[in-house]
Amino acid sequence: MTVKADGGVASPNDRTASPAAIPLLIEGLGVRYPGRREHSLEGIDLPIVRGERVGVAGRTGAGKSTLTLAAAGFIPRVVRAKLDGRVVIEGIDTATAAPGALLGQVGIVFATPANQLSASKQTVREELAFGLENLGVARDEMDARIDATLARLAIGHLADREPFALSGGEQQRVAIASIVAMGTSVLVLDEPTAQLDPAGTASVADLLDELARTGTTILCAEHDPTVLGRMDRCLVLEAGHAVALDVPGVALASAATAGGTPLPTMVRLAEAAGIDLAAAFDEAAVAAGLQARRQGPGILAERIVASSPTPDQALSTWAPTDGRPAVRIDIDGLVHRYPSGIEALRGVSLTIEPGESVAILGQNGSGKTTLVKHLNGLLRPAEGRILLDGQATDDRSIAHLAATVGFVFQNPDEQLFERTVEREVAFGPRNLGVAAAAIAQRVTHSLTAVGLLAEHSTNPYDLDLSRRKLVALAGVLAMDPAVFVLDEPTTGQDADGVARVGAVVEAMQRAGRTIVAITHDMEFAASRFGRIVVMREGVVVADGPPEQVFAPASVELLASTGLTPPPAARIAARMDLDVVPLDAAGLLRALSVRG
Amino acid sequence: MSATTGYFVAGASWLHRRNPLTKLLALGLVLLAAFLLPPVVLPILIAIIVFVAWAAGLLGPMARAMRIPSVLLLSILVVNSLFFPGAKDILVSLGPLSISREGLTFGLASAGRVLVAFLASITFLFTTLADDLLEALISRGASHRISFVVLSAVQMVPRMQGRAGAILEAQQARGLSMKGSFVRRLRKLVPLVAPVILGSLVDVRERTFALEARGFGARPGRTAYRVVADPPIDRWLRLLILAGAVAVVLFALGIIHP
Amino acid sequence: MNLDWLQVCAEGQTTPCVAPIQLAYLVALLIGAVLLVVIARRARDLTTATLSLMAVAIAINIAVGSIAVFLRLPIYLDSIGTVLVGALAGPWAGALTGILSNLIWSILPIPGGAGPTAAFFAPVAGVIGLMAGFWANRGVFQVRTDDVRVGGFLALATGILGAAVAFLVVQATVGIPDLAATEPDVLLANQTQFVLMALGFVVVGVIVGWLAGRTVFAFQGDDPRIRPYLQVATAIAAFVLVFGIVRLLFAPSGYFSTVDGVLDDGTPDDFLGGASLTGLAVQDPAGLIGAFVVALLVGAGALAWARRGDNARLFPVWVGGLTTGLVAAMISAPIAAGVFGGVTGGGTDALVALFRTLGLSVFQSAFAQGLTSDPLDKTISYTIVFLILGALPITVRTMYSRGETTVAE
């Protein structure tokens, strides 16, 4: 398939551009891993000019990671795979490059922040020196190069910190800095923000802008539309093939039409406004376009139909095997102190009605996880108490509470251990003493709900991280508790995965379960939960339905916690609407009624 | 105690300022003396080490660290004095158990050696950063690749312990009860230990890529960022220690007598 | 033949003999020096993937090993990472992993560490890594139940069984010389005799194994006998293992006869809730018959299990673990005896105390403890590694060139 590259801010229409202008050239790239019949990538052409940022989008398993590995010269040197076509970095063909030749030319950063560091250095400064040591840079030059990098990336304040004590966003920036310090001109990233909170994501995205401005060439695989939207161009992959290569708005829109993936909210709104999709991620332009449409020809009707959410019923077949009464949660004056004496929770009182669904928002360190860990006894209150249906939890063990409160942890790798997905999901109900026949039925139901029934006898660790998270979710679904606690269920998920998790949440609600979820995903929180609780420094600062919490009046309060309303609400605020829409469909409905 | 610096106690004492290799050799000499010379030297060695620690202002940390080997020392003493084969000289009898003089002597000597080894090692660890020691060894021709393995393994153990804690929480939240008989609890080690191992091994891939991206081991001619001081006095000290080691070995072999 | 150089001092004896401590150092230093030289030469060839695997493996060794110490288990579980690296990255990387694990463990403030205990056993850990790599190259983690290489493992197992039977026969007829004799002359004679006997057992084992390999187990091509033989061998192995363990635990002077709810130092042992298990020791001949029946049942169960699918391929894994354990016991005994009087602060101390009360010398107790703990420990560790290798994602496994040759699909 040939993909036309046009409309880009700095796209290389001139195919005869000199190698100096194209630091990263991918031509006819195909990759096939040993032992697999199908190519993981086929026929990818992608020349990137200096200082350009190219995003790579696509479903989980579409070949994004393989493309980043190939672009960084890791295939076939480090990862054994058959490579067709060629990848040329700064004039060096990666397939024939001498060992070490690519060093200082290209670098790569992956998703898990803690794994990106050398894990052997005491300070950020030494961490940055690690690459220079390997390059054999003279000792006298090192400090100057490190200081220059710290200044260029504006992370000088981290110089003497311990790498392991940094937040995820800081660790990712240090990892990028340590590659940039080596004089690298091409930076490849594989979902660098997948495990970060909104503040961390924004800081990494800002850093990429700054790097590109000062001449670094960037190739970045991502799911997050806010990161993809800031790229110059976007390549969309589908089953190893390029289906679109254009400015982000256009590329994501055409990919969605072709592949049926959910459209990012901003692109959907831009389409409805009928504006140039190149400006899809410019909020002011989209708001102005919608305003003009509303006062003029009206919102494009077919866009409203096209953009109404895919019916979740098709996804969410989950239903509990037996009915049980919904449980009410009373949190009363809860205080938690760390051994150091610092108060993580400073008097939290909440009542969660039976069958209510609550999303808890807040920055890292605001006490969200500490709060929910009290619900199933992982933490015990220093002061105050937790009541489940009026009964105190103090004297009940975690394992005992597990029958009532199901807890889905953020990191699935801290619990998966069985040989197959099926056995893994059966672990929880087996601990609860559920009969064998019932377990089999529950396992089937839960795996169907998360869309992994076909993988029932796969080794969980042969699935990627986003699907391992779904296995952990299925494991708790199979326990069928009255209360579900979800910690960051959508991180690392592609749009399909987020929709899948959302459908499961709605299925839980239909079954009358009480749901408490921690999330950084504002759109997910706004569109799937009936109540939003915002925390800051161990106290609840906002509590109410999403329309109230995300209303323009609360924007300042939200900003003080490092949060912003979801895109649709932001656009509505720019248009001075007096409703607070929670997703694109909501906004368009509001406009069409008026228009 | 920090996860990344181990036992290191920040300071600027005379001992802190010595080159790590000097201290490593001194540690070797103490160990050699403790295990090759007759047990009578053990009290002297202990006195010397305690004096050095006092001079470096490390008595407090050393006293606190003493709880670590206490179980081992007690075990050595008790098992040897109670169960010593062929013991004849019985000191005290308590029902079926009896403490023998031979056992007590053997136990005291063994425990004394272990105590000296512990005190000397801990004094070394209090005053030496692993990074400095390894960088000093690299400058003497040790492999920087192996040094890297050591440093990252040291940092990974506390992370793995943290991970084990998180796993314990996660499995309990999935209804795994930690009560029950000994055998049942042993069986429950599987869901607790397996994720620690598998999860860490899954991370190996990304960690390898991160190292490759920073050119780890790709080129000869590595340079070092960390500068380890080696004052002239250290060279003399090292010569002195080597001479001492030779003397100890000769004495142990019966070639020289005091 | 003059075997003076082998004579180990009796307690209290001064001359002429080699003190266990000196012997321990000699052995440890020699093995350590040779290993270090070879490894230093080989380390240059290690890939980045191997090095980062080694770091994780070391952490696994230390973390799991310290749990075993903390729980006072009578096994170590501190070489899972070592065996894993041996399997994926070869013997030299395995040896280096083992040595570094024990050295690093010594300087960490966790159970089993924080003292020189682990460091003294570093040479043992190195040898374990070497053997793991050796066995992985021979395919213990990979052979399928219809592989001709199975014959070799069966022959080896037969050889070990032959040596053990020879030992039991001699013990029952001639008797094993008394090594705790107090008279120096008698002791010397007994020791000489014992060493000769031990050599004899080894020779018997080698001959039996060789003959078996050349005759009964000389398979060719896709011999239909391979599968059933392997299944029966698995059952026999299970029988022998269970019989041994049951005797170890429930014999009149077995492990449980020493667990009386009180620790060595007189404080209550709260690990088992202060329970006294002395009543679990079963007197002979009822105990003997009971152990036989239990082992027989388990053996039958093992046969049924081995006949299902490819389960019998765990047999080579166990042969690898068992032999590694035997070698480890032989190297570690002099170190344990010489340095700590056999006491290392772990759960194995109960075994040492037990053997001492049975009248064995310091060295013998340490050796007997090693012979009890090590083969069991390494067999368990090899089995765990086999399971881990099976659960390892393909993406990780394919980073190692041996990942495909030493690991079964």
Instruction: With CA atoms as reference, report the closest residue to C122 among C79, C73, C67, C63.
Output: C79
In contact, A154 and A108? CB cutoff 8 Å = no
Q: What is the DSSP string of A385-403?
A: EEEETTEE-TTS-HHHHTT
Tell whether A74 lies on the interface with B, counting CB pairs under 8 A.
Answer: yes
In contact, A536 and A560? CB cutoff 8 Å = yes
Q: Which residue has the tokens 């054999």?
A: A136
Ranges of H-type helices in C215-271: 226-250
Of C59, C67, C100, the CB nearest to B156: C59
**Residue C296 to chain B, least CA–CA distance (Å):** 22
Judged by CB atoms closer than 8 Å, whether chains meet at B131 and A178 is answered as no
In contact, C302 and C239? CB cutoff 8 Å = yes
Bigger pLDDT: A164 or C301? C301
In this prediction, residue C264 has a pLDDT band, given cuts at 50, 70 and 90, of low
pLDDT higher than 80, residue C300: yes
pLDDT of residue A519: 92
Helix/strand/coil for A554: helix
φ/ψ of residue C83, rounded to 5: -65, -40
d(CA A81, CA A31): 7
Mean pLDDT, residues C77-91 taken together? 92
d(CA A399, CA B221): 56
Judged by CB atoms closer than 8 Å, whether chains meet at C391 and A119 is answered as no
Count of alpha carbons within 13 angstroms of residue B97, beta-carbon side: 14
Report the percentage of chain B scoring pLDDT > 70.
89
Judged by CB atoms closer than 8 Å, whether chains meet at B159 and A164 is answered as yes
Tell me the chain A residues in contact with residue C55 when contact means C-beta distances shorter than 8 Å: 119
**Residue C399 to chain A, least CA–CA distance (Å):** 7
Q: Which two tokens stand for residue C32?
A: 């350590």
Tell whether A33 lies on the interface with B, counting CB pairs under 8 A.
Answer: no
Show the 3-state SS of A92-143. Answer: EECCCCCCCCCCCCEEEECCCHHHHCCCCCCCHHHHHHHHHHHHCCCHHHHH
d(CA A418, CA A462): 12
In contact, C241 and C302? CB cutoff 8 Å = no
In contact, C68 and C347? CB cutoff 8 Å = yes
d(CA B129, CA B4): 10
In contact, C391 and A461? CB cutoff 8 Å = yes
Minimal Cα distance from A116: which residue of B?
A: B210
In contact, A293 and A300? CB cutoff 8 Å = yes
Tell me the chain C residues in contact with residue B102 when contact means C-beta distances shorter than 8 Å: 11-12
pLDDT higher than 70, residue C277: no
Tell whether C265 lies on the interface with B, counting CB pairs under 8 A.
Answer: yes
Mean pLDDT, residues C322-343 taken together? 77
Of C96, C182, C343, the CB nearest to B86: C182
Tell me the chain C residues in contact with residue B118 when contact means C-beta distances shorter than 8 Å: 114-116
Tell me the chain B residues in contact with residue A121 when contact means C-beta distances shorter than 8 Å: 131, 151
Q: Which residues of chain B have pLDDT under 50?
A: 1-3
Judged by CB atoms closer than 8 Å, whether chains meet at B71 and C360 is answered as no
Judged by CB atoms closer than 8 Å, whether chains meet at B175 and A136 is answered as no
Span C27-58, pLDDT tens digits: 666 776 777 777 777 777 788 889 999 999 99
Q: How far is CA A256 from CA A253, A496, A521, B24, in A?
A: 5, 11, 21, 64
In contact, C82 and C132? CB cutoff 8 Å = yes
pTM assigned to the model: 0.80
Tell whether C49 lies on the interface with A, counting CB pairs under 8 A.
Answer: yes
Minimal Cα distance from A421: which residue of C?
A: C391
DSSP letter assigned to residue C191: H
| Cross-strand partners of A350 | A331
| Cross-strand partners of A391 | A388
Tell whether B216 lies on the interface with A, counting CB pairs under 8 A.
Answer: yes
pLDDT higher than 70, residue C104: yes
Of C55, C265, C349, the CB nearest to B149: C55
The set of chains that have 3 or more CB pairs under 8 A with C is: A, B
Bigger pLDDT: C348 or A182? A182
Judged by CB atoms closer than 8 Å, whether chains meet at A461 and C390 is answered as no
pLDDT of residue B257: 62
pLDDT of residue C271: 45
Tell whether C272 lies on the interface with B, counting CB pairs under 8 A.
Answer: yes
Mutation to test the C interface, candidates B201, B202, B248, most C Cβ within 10 Å? B201
Q: What is the DSSP string of A281-325?
A: T-HHHHHHHHHHHHHTT---HHHHHHHSPPPGGGT-----SS---
Mutation to test the B interface, candidates A92, A122, A446, A466, most B Cβ within 10 Å? A122
Q: How far is CA B80 from CA B3, C9, C18, C33, in A?
A: 36, 17, 21, 31
Q: What is the ipTM of this complex?
A: 0.81
In contact, A362 and A561? CB cutoff 8 Å = yes
**Residue A456 to chain C, least CA–CA distance (Å):** 15
The contacts of residue B119 (CB under 8 Å, 6+ apart) are B46, B49, B50, B53, B62
d(CA C37, CA C42): 9
φ/ψ of residue C309, rounded to 5: 55, -135
pLDDT of residue A322: 67
The set of chains that have 3 or more CB pairs under 8 A with B is: A, C
Angle between helices C314-340 and B101-127 (to 10 degrees): 100
pLDDT of residue A5: 42
Bigger pLDDT: C119 or A13? C119
Asked if the peptide bond before residue A460 counts as cis, ω within 30 degrees of 0, the response is no
Tell whether B6 lies on the interface with C, counting CB pairs under 8 A.
Answer: yes
pLDDT of residue A13: 43
pLDDT of residue A350: 93
pLDDT of residue C7: 47
In contact, A94 and A73? CB cutoff 8 Å = yes
pLDDT averaged over consecutive 10-residue blocks of chain A (595 residues)?
40 49 91 85 93 91 91 86 91 85 88 85 91 90 93 89 85 91 92 85 90 93 90 92 90 77 84 85 89 76 48 60 81 89 89 94 87 91 90 84 91 87 93 90 91 89 89 94 92 86 90 92 92 93 93 88 89 89 86 62
Mutation to test the A interface, candidates B163, B214, B227, most A Cβ within 10 Å? B214
Q: How far is CA A558 from CA A345, A350, A361, A365, in A?
A: 19, 19, 10, 15
Q: What is the DSSP string of A444-476?
A: HHHHHHTT-GGGTTS-GGGS-HHHHHHHHHHHH
Helix/strand/coil for C117: helix
Judged by CB atoms closer than 8 Å, whether chains meet at B153 and C58 is answered as yes
